[in-house]
Structure 1
């Protein structure tokens, strides 16, 4: 459905000419629309007001129809029930009206801590487990998803059950967590009950995951399972161990407990001898439009994670499998060397940084990062800063850094105290900015399309004024720089010992801000030669 009217939407599940559309629209206050998983709406909602529709019978593009309903140019007194996975940073960040109901499906900081308390019960265990997760931004993000929070807690509990007094948690990455969970599940009492050898069960499970992603099948029928060699007894074991669960959309189907876990299992399949299977569901037309899976980045990230010897050993010891690691390692080294020689080959380097962080092998990360003299970093979440800092610390030849910071360091609303997430953002930003004075070869910094608040601006300025910072060219493009910001930029101009070129074009500077920069340039301590 690419074009539709509101009448089409209301009548699509009714027999022809039976839908009481006129009655429904006669009292729109009683009309409730449900918009599930707002974050995964793939329509472009950046539409001008003039393009919105107010005629319930007019066929318009589906994105225009959706936004017209949300903006209430159609069914003006109706309401929405919206589910989202990310809590809006402020009321202005959401398209919902005051009369709408918005439910955040993911765990925020407070709910996450409450879940740990309910899961572990014992106060000492709660503090031990939560402190460990809190110190790892990747695991914090993992535990924002309820089912993956449970999965992580199961792993933590297993470790504490083994050694209560001197507990150590052997996982730093998502791949670590999933590998331990899979090994524990299939070697548990329920897993051992399976008559099939564990290695065979693992292979067929991972084939199912891999082919499901390739063929856009996420809800598996009994025939799908049989096509990869899994029978009813196997399915029962996999559901008992919570690797698979009943489908949320079809009563007679099953699914992986989460897409991210399916991606992990697909990565294992990629590293084992692989057979090709055609899942019967791909041939069925009665399931309606299937979801499309077109981002293989998470699978690639887990493959890098499985190249880590200790992580790989968990699976090889538990299942007797041999994952093909060396051939993939050499292949990645060759491919990344080509990327390093062509700085524009990747839009930005954060996906590669996630792969290297997931790998957690110093020598391998150093080899990869030695290929790069330029890097482009897009920061949208705290974990982006974590992986970028991890990799750029190992990029010894780095000469030019491009940076785009979106959202997490934006100016907060007045009189609103810092959340724990924002506090972590500032700590991670300070660590990231330390790269500016620890990278001996770094000469150019470009920050574009970014909004920084006063605190994060000061952290950046302090790093640029550090005695060991060698940055000579600074570009601040489309960064919403105002006259007020020019005071901190002026300090950098006056106190930096190496800054020669400054570009602040395409911002909101007025005459007063420009005057501040010029006066700073004229100070005897300034080394600046060129100001744009």
Structure 2
């Protein structure tokens, strides 16, 4: 019970304090979970795609979506017309898959739900990445050794067993759900074969299985064997408010922070992700602490873009580190090494690293600063490392090019990043564009020294070429390039790239409120546009409100 009762937040960044711990019932905020199978095609980055989908979810009627609370995951499914025994829960990084599992198990332990299960066995895919052949019995006893004398009897009643496997996307094994091989719990096999055999019921027929995964992994596996597939959509508006109140404690501070974020669509859109909410709250609390009374200085210090958010997050960690050690050189070297490791991970869909990666990229994990950015898990002989959040990994991947500039390497990254059709490097590209802004880079200067002006110039040149090319292509591609310009905050560049184009046409292109905010920035930067066509773009009142600051620059709006 102790493993599930306590919810541990990351320790305050850059400090030597222990991670903050809370009773899970005090901090857990309900997540929206809906029935879905829409992860087959992922032309966009999964965070962006899910953010758009989340906005659509909020507009759906109650009959259009099947909302699933944790206590209904193994109840009757309308889609499959049965009581499911195999359930897949999908969600982007940081959305709360692991926390949902923790709450699920805690509620079972405390007798609140699913008492038909006598035993719940919970595993993480990553813990079995370097495991050889093993039997189901051995796998259970490895994690639950105190069951050794009872394991035979326990497995005799599979209808009362639930197996939970968290993080399919973190597994290095090829897992094919189309066929199963095992029939007996004493049979030795690869870990993936055991999971598949449990799901397909050739092993322990009647047992129940719950698996979690990122959407990207599900796009490449056959999920037809699951009777329920659910997608964690994250926080609704009111849930975000609750999270802010829980984080700040103070009603005044939480309202102040939430109001600021809500007015900034760029920051607010991704707040459907709990871990992103934590980063936003952490940064704002740092800003409030640094400027408790001076309103003008406070507003100036608050992040305006996602890049500025992560720059401020990292800068505050480095400030605490340098204050304690006075060693900015070590910080720069660490950011360089973890940055190149991060980029390799982004480009190759790797979010779990082991000692081999640390050695390959000359990452030293013996420094306190290392643990401010990267989490360790596993046993001493089998340690894995993950960044606090995937987006932080993507940020460090971009930052590496400004710390350790190499023209050829940057061009290679830009070319590779835009060539991926699954959007894996989309956030990386946005961070590169964001770091091209000198005022944003300046926030890190006192902590890591100068960041490359040449890298910024190369990125700006790339944006210019990108705009020229995309103006003749699909409207969605052009819109995506507008996001690069928005992240760069470079109004002169916008005016130079877009200003000569007197017509902006997004007709018959569904746009989100955030799209309209980005478009508003572009139009304001251009100062004057002859014609803007937004017919059949789902503009509605919210979109029009976002455009108000730019309306005076438009001669003809359709």
The TM-score range, normalised by the shorter chain, is 0.5 to 0.7
Structure 2 SS opposite 1:358:
helix
What residue is the counterpart of 2:273 in the other structure?
145
* 2:293 counterpart of 1:165: yes
Which residue of 331, 335, 356 maps to 2:461? Answer: 331
Pick closer, same or farther for the CA change 1:107–1:227 going to 2, 3 Å: same
- 1:181 is displaced (CA, Å) by 0.8
Structure 2 SS opposite 1:246:
strand
For residues 259 and 323 of structure 1, the distance between their equivalents in structure 2, rounded to whole angstroms, comes to 24
Spell out, residue by residue over 1:120-165, the C-alpha distance to the aligned partner (whole angstroms, 9 max, x if none). Answer: 1122211211111111112112332222211211111111112222
For residues 352 and 199 of structure 2, the distance between their equivalents in structure 1, rounded to whole angstroms, comes to 37
Q: How many residues align?
A: 360
CA contact (8 A) 2:199 2:209 kept: no
What residue is the counterpart of 1:349 in the other structure?
478
Pick closer, same or farther for the CA change 1:13–1:220 going to 2, 3 Å: farther
For residues 425 and 197 of structure 2, the distance between their equivalents in structure 1, rounded to whole angstroms, comes to 44
Pick closer, same or farther for the CA change 1:13–1:307 going to 2, 3 Å: farther
For residues 343 and 223 of structure 1, the distance between their equivalents in structure 2, rounded to whole angstroms, comes to 45
Residues 38-77 of structure 1 mapped to structure 2, 5 A cutoff: 41-42=218-219, 63=222, 66-67=223-224, 69=225
For residues 434 and 197 of structure 2, the distance between their equivalents in structure 1, rounded to whole angstroms, comes to 55
Pick closer, same or farther for the CA change 1:404–1:205 going to 2, 3 Å: farther
- 1:246 is displaced (CA, Å) by 2.7
* 2:260 counterpart of 1:114: no
* 2:370 counterpart of 1:238: yes
Structure 2 SS opposite 1:349:
helix
Which residue of 336, 348, 363 maps to 2:492? Answer: 363
Spell out, residue by residue over 1:401-433, the C-alpha distance to the aligned partner (whole angstroms, 9 max, x if none). Answer: 466657xx8xxxxxxxxxxxxxxx742344449
Larger Cα-atom Rg: 1
* 2:188 counterpart of 1:188: no
For residues 306 and 378 of structure 2, the distance between their equivalents in structure 1, rounded to whole angstroms, comes to 24
Spell out, residue by residue over 1:171-213, the C-alpha distance to the aligned partner (whole angstroms, 9 max, x if none). Answer: 1111011001111112214884496622222222222212222
Of the two structures, which has the highest relative contact order with CA contacts closer than 8 Å and spacing of 6 or more?
2
TM-score normalised to the size of structure 2?
0.55
* 2:479 counterpart of 1:302: no
- 1:313 is displaced (CA, Å) by 0.3
Pick closer, same or farther for the CA change 1:35–1:190 going to 2, 3 Å: same
What residue is the counterpart of 1:427 in the other structure?
542
- CA RMSD in angstroms comes to 4.2
For residues 344 and 178 of structure 2, the distance between their equivalents in structure 1, rounded to whole angstroms, comes to 36
What residue is the counterpart of 1:177 in the other structure?
309
Pick closer, same or farther for the CA change 1:222–1:382 going to 2, 3 Å: same
Pick closer, same or farther for the CA change 1:111–1:197 going to 2, 3 Å: same
For residues 272 and 23 of structure 1, the distance between their equivalents in structure 2, rounded to whole angstroms, comes to 49
Pick closer, same or farther for the CA change 1:24–1:190 going to 2, 3 Å: farther
What residue is the counterpart of 2:389 in the other structure?
258
CA contact (8 A) 1:268 1:323 kept: no
- 1:339 is displaced (CA, Å) by 2.0
CA contact (8 A) 1:214 1:293 kept: no
TM-score normalised to the size of structure 1?
0.57
What residue is the counterpart of 2:400 in the other structure?
269
Spell out, residue by residue over 1:249-290, the C-alpha distance to the aligned partner (whole angstroms, 9 max, x if none). Answer: 9961111111111111111122343579xxxxxxxxxxxxxx
- 1:117 is displaced (CA, Å) by 1.2
Pick closer, same or farther for the CA change 1:333–1:256 going to 2, 3 Å: closer
Structure 1 SS opposite 2:272:
coil
Pick closer, same or farther for the CA change 1:197–1:393 going to 2, 3 Å: same
CA contact (8 A) 2:271 2:277 kept: yes
Structure 2: which 5+ residue stretches go unaligned?
Answer: 1-173, 408-420
